[in-house]
Amino acid sequence: MPAALITGITGQDGLYLAEFLIAKGYEVHGLIRGQDNPKQHLVRSLVPEVQLHRGDLTDMTSLVRALRDSQPDEVYNLGAVSSVAYSWDNAHLTTDVTAVGVLNVLEALRLHLGDDPGRVRFYQASSSEIFGKAQETPQTERTLPWPRSPYGVSKVYAHYLTINSRESYGMHASSGILFNHESPRRGLEFVTRKISHGVARIALGLQDELVMGNLDAHRDWGFAGDYVEAMWLQLQRDEPDDYIVATGETHAVRDFVATAFQHVGIDDWERHVRTDPRFTRPAEVDHIVGDASKARTELGWKPRVAFRELVAMMVDADLAEQSRQSGR
C-alpha cells in the first residue's frame, strides 16, 4: 500500500486529494497545524481514514518528525497562506509559509532521504499567480513569471526552489502550475465562493446585495476535484517535471456573477450588485488563461467540469446549505 503525506490537508485541495488517494488504495497522512485546529473535525468527518500529524510548515523539526512517522512514498505540499487579497496585509506571514515553508519541506525531505534523494516523490502546488502581469497569452510552462502580489512572489520562489531541488540534488520534485480551481469547499474569501454564497442568500431572500471588487478581471476557473487528479498523475511519471493545469477558457468575474444569478432565475442581476473600492487590490492580475496541452499529451489529463457546471454546482451547494440553516 503506497503512503502519501499531504500538507494543507484541511484545505479544499487537501480534502479532495485525500479522498482521491484513499479511493486509489493509499495510506494517507496529513499535517495539521495548531494545538486544536477546528478544521481537524472536517478532515475526521469527510476522510476519517487520514492519519493526522501535528506540524507546521514554518517549523522544520515538525516536518522531519512527520516524515519519519508517516514514511511516505509521495509528499504533496498543498499548505500555504493562499489568499492573494490577504497576502498584502500579511506579507511576512505569507513569505514565511508560502515561500520559506517550501524550503523547510524540501530540506526536511533531503535530510530524511539521505543518499537516496529520489526515493520519495515531491509535489509542489505552484500557481498561475506567478504569471501576474502576463507576458504572453495563453501561459505555458515556459512563460516568464511576473507576479503581482506577495502571494505571487512567494509562489515564484517556491516554484524555482522545487526545480532547483531536482536539478541540484536529483530529487523527484515536480511543480503543478495550477490555475484557479474552485468547488463548494472553497473559502468565502475567494471570489467564486463569495458569489455563489451571496447569490444563494439573495435567491432565498436572506440578503439584498452583493458587494464586489473588480468585475473585469479574467480567470481560468476549473473544478478542484479535477485538478487533484493531475497532481497524482504528475507524481506517477518516472521523470519529475512541471505542468500547467488549466481549462484553457477564461471568463470575467462579471460572467461568473451573471451566470450564478441566471442559475437562480435572476436576469436583472445588476440591481443586486454594487462595487466598493474596499475590495480592489493594490495591483491586479487582469487576464490569465492557461495552455495545458503538455498535461493533456504527457499525463493524459483533461478537465471534466466546464464553467457553467462549476457555477451551478457551487450555487446549488450554497442554496442547499443556506436553506437548511435558515429553514427557507
Active site (annotated) includes residue 151:
yes
**Contact stretch for ligand GDP (CB under 6 A) within 157-165, 209-217, 290-298, 302-310:** 209-217
Name which of 176 and 213 has its Cβ closer to ligand GDP: 213
For residues 80 and 8, is the Cβ–Cβ distance under 8 A? yes
Active site (annotated) includes residue 323:
no
Catalytic residue among 62, 82, 126, 127: 127
For residues 159 and 126, is the Cβ–Cβ distance under 8 A? yes
| Cell numbers describing residue 159 | 516554484
Beta strand extents in 108-257 (DSSP E only): 121-127, 172-178, 181-182, 210-212, 218-219, 222-223, 243-245, 251-252
From the CB of 262, what's the least distance to ligand GDP, in Å? 19
Burial bucket for residue 121 (CB in 10 Å: 0-12, 13-18, 19+): buried
Burial 149-184 (b: 16+ CB within 10 A, else e): bbbbbbbbbbbebbbebbeeeebbbbbbbbbbbbbb
279 forms part of the interface with ligand GDP (CB under 6 A): yes
**Contact stretch for ligand GDP (CB under 6 A) within 14-22, 97-105, 199-207, 276-284:** 276-284
Name which of 52 and 91 has its Cβ closer to ligand GDP: 91
Active site (annotated) includes residue 76:
no
Of residues 37-96, those binding ligand GDP (CB under 6 A)? 84-85
Helices 191-203 and 253-263: crossing angle in degrees, nearest 10, is 30
Name which of 61 and 135 has its Cβ closer to ligand GDP: 135
237 forms part of the interface with ligand GDP (CB under 6 A): no
Of residues 121-140, those binding ligand GDP (CB under 6 A)? 129
202 forms part of the interface with ligand GDP (CB under 6 A): no
**Contact stretch for ligand GDP (CB under 6 A) within 63-71, 198-206, 211-219, 292-300:** 211-219
Q: How far is CA 85 from CA 152, 269, 275, in A?
A: 11, 25, 16
219 forms part of the interface with ligand GDP (CB under 6 A): yes
The only residue of 18, 66, 163, 217 in contact with ligand GDP, by rule CB under 6 A: 217
- Express the helix, strand and coil content of the chain in percent, nearest 5 each: 45, 15, 40
Map residue 249 onto helix, strand or coil: coil
For residues 146 and 134, is the Cβ–Cβ distance under 8 A? yes
The only residue of 241, 284, 298, 316 in contact with ligand GDP, by rule CB under 6 A: 284
| Total residues binding ligand GDP (CB under 6 A) | 19
Beta strand extents in 21-106 (DSSP E only): 27-32, 51-54, 74-77
Residues forming the site for ligand GDP (CB under 6 A):
84-85, 129, 180, 189-192, 194, 212-214, 217, 219, 253, 279, 281, 284-285
Active-site residues, by number, are 127, 129, 151
